[in-house]
Every structure is written in structure tokens, then in C-alpha cells.
Amino acid sequence: MSALVVARQPTSPAERLKDAAASALIALLLGIPMIGLTTVDQGGALRVATRWPALLAFVAVCFAGRLLLRYASDVLRARRLARETAAEATAGARPAAGGALLTGIGWAALAVALLLPIAFSDNRYVVDTATTVLIYVMLGWGLNVVVGLAGLLDLGYVAFYAVGAYTYGLLSTQLGWGFWQALPVAGAMAAAFGIILGWPTLRLRGDYLAIVTLGFGEIIRVILVNWTELSGGPNGITSIPRPSFFGLPFKPPGDAPTFASFFGLEYSPNQRLIFLYYLILGLALLTNVFVSRMRRLPVGRAWEAMREDEIACKAMGINARNVKLSAFALGAMLGGFAGVFFAARQGFISPESFTFNESAIILAIVVLGGMGSQLGVVLASLVLVLLPELGRDFAEYRMLLFGAAMILIMIWKPGGILAHREPTLRHHRPGGGR
């Protein structure tokens, strides 16, 4: 298809103006029914309200934005052309200086994460928010295996998260299982769901998988809402036991030994919070190490190869379905683990927590962070969790911004902010000749 692309000439100011005017016209047409007009409820009946100033502002922004965009893209293109001609004389591989820097940032982030609860030991809010960030990091890393490494678009990832959470919720409240007993079972359960779903659909094209996972996420939610005997329906499962420190509960001193009394500490409710923080940090780090080791194994390399060219992989004798299925099941299992932690931390779960929005947020984290990049996921989770904390306005516009950001990132930097499309292993050192 790209054979027919003709290099665009730099545009004249008049052309840019015309182009921007066309954008403004489109913006006007888009804006009239949605921004210019709205219906408000007035005494039981609807009434049309107008917002012309907002519409005018929207159109003006589109006009100016388009004008600037065209100007900027022309300037950038001219510069790039100049640079490319200059670079052709001194042709050579670009040094891979970014790698060392990123590794450094990664270790620094780890140090910050380890020290954070010590520095903020009496600030509940900070530790709690950091725990939320880490849950998303873990989910992001799990989904990254599926989307970033294997290139399979999973739009119902939250279903596996829900399976993990409900498995722990049911096992603990019905059978009295502990956190550590339930963790592997819930992970296996989520992986099993991944296999059941992936088996029929993974041999199909990526688009089908996307919509099937979307439907599956919805099925799980509908079942959780309606199967009241099992899941408690819309009310969910309450009083899920919190995890204990190797059998020592986090409670005010009583008859049985507690965490505080065993270590001779003074009891404080923050101890459990900090323990939960380290727990999810440990789980997340384990995930990270596990996934980065998996990437070096033949199966991990097959994931990345499959992402780049499935037909070539099949021709090389790789069993496409099994390779995809392993990525899908592994991602589901990691989601299940995160779900167990979520249930244990909240002590309460309901279908409300597992809507499509949640899937969209996790996908946004992976996409914005850079598909395949572990550090990118951390940065994206930080931004996406902290942004709504900044204020109510941000919280309201959060999903809108996510959606817009997903489109823009795909257009400008399809690999994500920290693109990691480099293969994990290569035969020759980069820049070391071919």
C-alpha cells in the first residue's frame, strides 16, 4: 500500500489557512449536536439548552490547533530532510545510549519504591495510593505479555482480574482458605479461563480476538451480577479476610499472637497498609523478573516473532496457536494474581470494580507506556493513577483523555512513549556490523 505515498510538498500559508478552515467547519458540524445543543431534564420533560460560547471555543481551538499542527509538521519535515541529507554523508548506526539510561531509571525507581513506606510510614494516603499504583503496574505487566509481547489485543483483561478476585473471595469466605493457599489456585483458575477463551479464538485474526475478549469481559460481569447464589450478585462478597504475616494477623493485641505483639512493636493500623504495600511490590517484582526471564526463553522469543510476522513464524514451524495460548494464559494468570491481591486488600468485591472501563484503563497503561516496555508501564500507571488524584476535574475527564491519548500515541509513536520494539535477544550486537 505504501508504494503510492507521494512525499507531500511544504504547504503555503494560504493552503494551511484553507485546511484549517475546513477543520473548523468539520468541528462545527461535530460540535453542534453534542456541544452546541444538549437536552436537560426540566420537571420530568426534556428541554433543549444551548451552549454557543462553548461551541465557538471548540471550533476556534480546532482552527488554531490545525493551523499550528500543519505549520509544525512542515517545519519538522523540512528539518528532518535537512538532517537526513547531512547524515547520509556520515552514515553509521546510532549508538544505543538509551538502554543504559533506562536501566538506571529502573533501578532508581525500584529504590524509591522500596524506601517509600519507610519515608511515609505515618502517611496513610501516600502508601495507599502507591499500593493502587502498584496494582495497576502488576496488571499492566500482565497485559503487556499479551498485548506488548505477543501482539494480541485483549479488551477483556479485567475478566481475569475478576476471576482471580472472586476465586479468592469465595475460597476464603466459603472454605476458609488463606491468602497464600488461594493465590496459586486463583492464578490457575484465571489461566484456565484464559485457555478456555483463547483456544477457539486464537487461531483467528487479531480483530476477532479483540471483540471476543470484549464480549467475554461483559459475560463475566453479567454472570457475576446475576448468579446471586455464587457471587452475591450486585452486592458482591463482603468481609474477605485480609492477608496475615505468615499466620500473624494485623490486629490490636489480643489473646492470639499478632504481628505487633510477636515482634514487640506497638500496634498501629498502618502496619497492615505497609505490609500490603510490600506484598504487592513483591508480587509485581516477581512478575517483572518472571516475564523478563520468559522473554529470553524460546517461547518468549516466539511471542515477539509472532507479533512481528505470524505467517513467517508458521513457515518456520512454530505452533502459532500454542505460542499465543501460552502468552494469553500467562497474562490471565498474572491478572488473576492481581485480582487476589485486590480482593484481599479491599476486603470487599462487587461486579462494579470489573467494568469495561477498568479494562480500558489497563490497556491505556500498556499502550501509553510503550508496548513491551516494563518501565513504561510503571510510568504510565503513575500518571494514570495520580492524574485523577490531582483534582475532580481530572477525574471527570480522565477516560476522555485516555481515549484521546490512545489515538494520538498510535498516530505519532505507535510503539508507545518508551518504545520497546527491539527484540529482547539479538544475534549481533547493535552497531557491530552485519
- Residue number, 342 or 402, with CB nearest to another protein: 402
- Minimum Å gap between C-beta 215 and another protein is 4
Nearer to another protein, 119 or 395 (CB): 395
Candidates 7, 14, 45, 97; binder of another protein (CB under 8 A) is 45
Q: How far apart are CA 370 and CA 378, in angstroms?
A: 10
Among 10, 53, 104, 206, binds another protein (CB under 8 A): 206
411 binds another protein (CB under 8 A): yes
CB of 362 to another protein, least distance (A): 12
The answer to the question of residue 204 lying near another protein (CB under 8 A) is yes
Q: Which is nearer to another protein, 62 or 127 (CB)?
A: 62
Window contacting another protein (CB under 8 A); options: 45-53, 77-85, 115-123, 237-245: 45-53
Q: DSSP E strands: which ranges in 94-170?
A: none
Binding-site member from 20, 371, 377, 385 for another protein (CB under 8 A): 371
Q: What does the DSSP 8-state code read for residue 234?
A: G
Cell 526471564, located at residue: 293
Distance of CA 46 to the CA centre of its chain: 39
Nearest distance from C-beta of residue 9 to another protein, angstroms: 17
155 near another protein (CB under 8 A): yes
- Asked if 118 is part of the footprint of another protein (rule: CB under 8 A), the reply reads no
Span near another protein by CB under 8 A; candidates 110-118, 126-134, 330-338, 402-410: 402-410
Q: Does 67 bind another protein (CB under 8 A)?
A: no
Q: Based on the shown chain and the rule CB under 8 A, indicate whether residue 175 belongs to the binding site for another protein.
A: no
Nearest to 168 by CA among 156, 180, 151, 154: 180
Site for another protein contains 387 (CB under 8 A): no
Binding window for another protein (CB under 8 A); candidates: 40-48, 163-171, 282-290, 424-432: 40-48
C-alpha dist (Å) from residue 159 to 107, 140, 336: 32, 14, 9
Of 11, 17, 19, 30, which lies in the binding site for another protein, with binding defined by CB under 8 A? 30
Q: How far is the CB of 412 from another protein (least distance, A)?
A: 9
Among the listed residues 147, 190, 332, 382, the single contact to another protein using CB under 8 A: 147
Q: Are 323 and 303 in contact (CB under 8 A)?
A: yes
Q: Binder to another protein among 212, 280, 340, 380 (CB under 8 A)?
A: 212
Query: Which of 13, 18, 39, 247 is in the footprint of another protein by CB under 8 A?
Result: 39
- Encoded one letter per residue, x for contact with another protein by CB under 8 A and - for no contact, window 344-363 reads ------------x---x--x
Q: Which is nearer to another protein, 330 or 363 (CB)?
A: 363
Least separation in angstroms between CB 434 and another protein: 24
Residue 129 near residue 385 (C-beta atoms within 8 A): yes
Question: Please, what is the minimum distance in Å from the beta carbon of residue 417 to another protein?
Answer: 14
The residue assigned the cell 524506601 is 115
* Interface size with another protein, residues (CB under 8 A): 65
Q: Which residues contact another protein by CB under 8 A?
A: 1-5, 26, 29-30, 32-35, 37-41, 45-48, 147, 151, 153, 155, 197, 200-201, 204-208, 210-212, 214-216, 218-219, 222-223, 225-226, 307, 311, 356, 360, 363, 367, 371, 396-397, 399-400, 402-407, 410-411, 414
